[in-house]
Chain A
Amino acid sequence: MTRPQHLLSVADLGVDGIAEVLRVAESFAEVERRSVPKVPTLRGKVVATLFFEESTRTRLSFETAAKRLSADVLSLAVASSSVKKGESLRDTVETVEALGIDALIIRHSSSGAPHQVARWATRARVVNAGDGWHEHPTQALIDCFTVRQVLAERKGAAPEDLGIDCFEGLRILIVGDIRHSRVARSEVLAYSELGATVTLAGPGSLLPASLEGWPVTVAPDLDAALGDADVVSLLRLQAERGSGSFVPSLREYTAGWGLTNRRVELLREDAIVTHPGPMVRGVEIASDVADLPRSVITQQVTNGVAVRMAILFLLLGGEWSGADPRG
């Protein structure tokens, strides 16, 4: 396949691209287990992170990934930058790019901002690290990677040997604030592209206004849907985006849509629970449930680095032809 120029949406990858990201990430996961977890692959390349919205794990994860590939990392802290002096996004991007940047990792509270940055950039590759309610493609890839890892472990097989066939017919249930969730939009695209069936569950006011064209079904009742799920992806109620007013109270939200200690009993024995973080214990997930072995939340964070190494490698230097990325 041809290399996409940017990663703005999971749709930029297609099924072959997703498979390639998962394959390459697997070999980088091996690098991470070494005593010196670093490869020279992107030596001389410069990666800049532009986070116009607060983040802990995504930014650290991207910067760690870039450093393990021996790239130089520039980090724009918006709070202390000229953005605060009224500089436009476009000028900020053009200024940063003028420094000779190879990849721009951007997070922005406006949906579509990375698309515009990609139009303005003349040479840098643009990676969407989360834009508004729109997409968070690397998170969805991490979730797919983690699910495959768990399935492989259970079979005693290597994840790469499972390929992407393990997703065929897999039943994914995404629960919570779908309307405001960029993770949900990317997960729907990634899982359905891989052949999984995706079901959404959440209060009506937190579902998107229209699901026309979405390859999903909506579960009318969470309890019934839980018993049919192989993977449950929980989402945070985005209170900072005003989602709090979309439900009468957090208590009522938890009662209707939280993965409580009672509800977790309805899950199949082998069902996996994912959460992109940050999670709010006691709201969308009971604290005890978050700590169950079936909850792979910490594993998702760990895998974030390998998957983002794969993305940077494939956009900046790698072959899409099955070469070993470790050099």
Chain B
Amino acid sequence: MADVTRTEGTTPHAPVVIRGGSVVGPEGFRRADVALAGGVVVAVEETIAAPSDARLLDARGCLVGPGLVDLHTHLRQPGREEAETVESGARAAALGGYTALVAMPNTEPAIDSAGVARDVLVLGRGALAEVAVAGSITVGRAGKALAPMGELAALGVHIFTDDGAGVQDGALMRRALDYAKGLGVTLAQHCEDDCLSGGGAMHEGCWSSRLGLPGIPAAAEESMVARDIQLVRLTGAPVHFLHLSTAGSVELVRQAKREGLPVTAEAAPHHMLLTHAEVAGYDPVFKVNPPLRAESDVIAVIEGLRDGTIDAIATDHAPHAPESKDVPFDQAPPGMLGLQTALPIAWQVLSPTLAPERIFALMSAAPAAIARLTRTDPRPAGHSAQGGPLEVGAAANICVFDPSATTVVDPTRLASRSRNTPYAGRTFTGAVRHTILRGEPVVIDAVAQR
């Protein structure tokens, strides 16, 4: 059952054998070699004798898991090509172990029509990772009128969001949910009450008070999470909560799930690792929205990932050109790079208490399921099957991760066109070694192959 029907951007590749690693499946991992041919997995066995024309990839000491899937990438194209392009963003994704990403629609113009969506999809063909797009909920993300979700859904778009902002008008959000339910698509909310967060530049708390910066209270996020949970109860339509950052939000989603409501949630690596104390030096590289929160929030986000309240890790990779971040803190746009550091951070934070297959699930199978990328889709927005598991016949989308290597973050050496990583100079345990996209090794030994 060859799973790859899509041919654009793919060329025939030599067979590949991944040697010496441990294959991560849904229930655990085991020592096995993996053979790929024709874009699919053809064998998973303890030792595979490689055919003479096969390319051998060394994976000794490495975990061989399904390619990662990012639910939340800002590719900036069209409109902000100086900060990122589909090509450069997908390259960063591949280097980070990703084989698919969902491009957020807050481009200029916004992805609020089939035309713009098609442009981005065309740019994504031949990129180093598969590019899916999210459409906006409202026209121009202006929060006033519904975007043509039907025409976007017909292309294969499954996630709709006004990310960058939340839909402020509760009645409009309710209408969007009713409409989305009929289409079978999922709305994803950036939860932020603009009135409560108005003018805020960082988390409201002891650091904002000390630094004299206007704060964004946790309640700005939590009040919209609470409102949308009520709307899910009212409409029965699913909601995906983007980048949860506060203990209160995690608890609200936990209760909603306990009740059986169709909600899913994601969290970003920076909300698992960094706190608002990072802002002490006023470096805008630490400005992000939702903002870096308190230590207790970081602990709650990690607990949410551990107990299943939060389904997925999503990067919220948000490139900004250097000149736009080289300004006073309150004037800088929010956002930080994330694709090339996500797995090492997740590994460092979670591996002491979470099994490798759980970490891979948070970054591959779960986000692939939320974005409906688990099955091959031949439509324009189509893609190969993502999220694993790596078994014979599955699409060969693979991430090979070396948990004993280290990732040293040098902003000038990242694939992004921007340099706004908050981790400059930091070292993480674990490094992405190889990435294989539809059978093609696009990254070998941490080097992009084209």
Interface residues of A (CB under 8 A from B): 88-90, 108, 110-113, 115-116, 131-135, 182, 185, 208-214
Contacts and interface: CB of A to CB of B under 8 A. Distances in A.
Contact of B327 (A89, A135, A211): A89
A111 B206 contact: no
B206 A210 contact: yes
A113 B283 CA distance: 10
Interface residues of B, number: 22
A209 B211 contact: no
Looking at B213, B217, B323, which has the most chain A CB atoms within 10 Å of its CB? Answer: B213
A89 B212 contact: no
B211 A112 contact: yes
Contacts of A113: 282, 328
Interface in B238-290: 281-283
B205 A111 contact: no
A224 to B, nearest CB: 25
Contacts of B297: none
A89 B205 CA distance: 28
Contacts of B326: 88, 90
Nearest to A11: B210
Given A89-B327, A110-B331, A112-B328, A185 B208 contact: no
Interface of B: 204-206, 208-215, 217, 281-283, 323, 326-331
A115 B282 contact: yes
Looking at A89, A135, A208, which has the most chain B CB atoms within 10 Å of its CB? Answer: A208
Nearest to A211: B209
Contacts of A134: 211-213
A182 B212 contact: yes
Nearest to A112: B282
Given A110-B331, A132-B330, A133-B212, A115 B281 contact: yes
B195 to A, nearest CB: 13
25 contacts: A88-B323, A110-B331, A111-B211, A111-B212, A112-B212, A112-B213, A112-B329, A113-B328, A116-B328, A116-B329, A132-B213, A132-B330, A134-B212, A182-B212, A185-B210, A209-B208, A209-B209, A209-B217, A210-B204, A210-B205, A210-B206, A210-B209, A211-B209, A212-B205, A214-B210
B328 A89 contact: yes
Looking at A113, A132, A182, A211, which has the most chain B CB atoms within 10 Å of its CB? Answer: A132
Looking at A108, A131, A133, which has the most chain B CB atoms within 10 Å of its CB? Answer: A133
Contacts of A212: 205-206, 209
B276 to A, nearest CB: 11
A209 B215 CA distance: 8
B217 A110 contact: no
Nearest to A113: B328
Q: Which 9 A-B pairs have the closest CB atoms?
A: A112-B282, A134-B212, A110-B328, A133-B212, A208-B209, A212-B206, A111-B212, A210-B206, A113-B328
A167 B216 CA distance: 37
Nearest to A110: B328
B213 A111 contact: yes
Contact of A135 (B212, B214, B215, B283): B212
Given A89-B328, A112-B212, 11 more contacts: A88-B323, A110-B330, A111-B328, A112-B328, A112-B329, A134-B212, A182-B212, A209-B204, A210-B204, A210-B205, A211-B209
A254 to B, nearest CB: 25
Nearest to B326: A90
Contacts of A111: 211-213, 282, 328-330
A109 to B, nearest CB: 8
Contacts of B210: 185, 213-214
A132 B330 CA distance: 10
Contacts of A131: 212
A214 B328 CA distance: 25
A287 B187 CA distance: 59
Looking at A112, A182, A212, which has the most chain B CB atoms within 10 Å of its CB? Answer: A112
A182 B211 CA distance: 10
A208 B217 CA distance: 12
A3 to B, nearest CB: 21
B209 to A, nearest CB: 4
A304 to B, nearest CB: 21
Looking at B213, B281, B282, B323, which has the most chain A CB atoms within 10 Å of its CB? Answer: B282
Contacts of B283: 116
Nearest to B213: A111
Nearest to A182: B212
Contacts of A108: 328
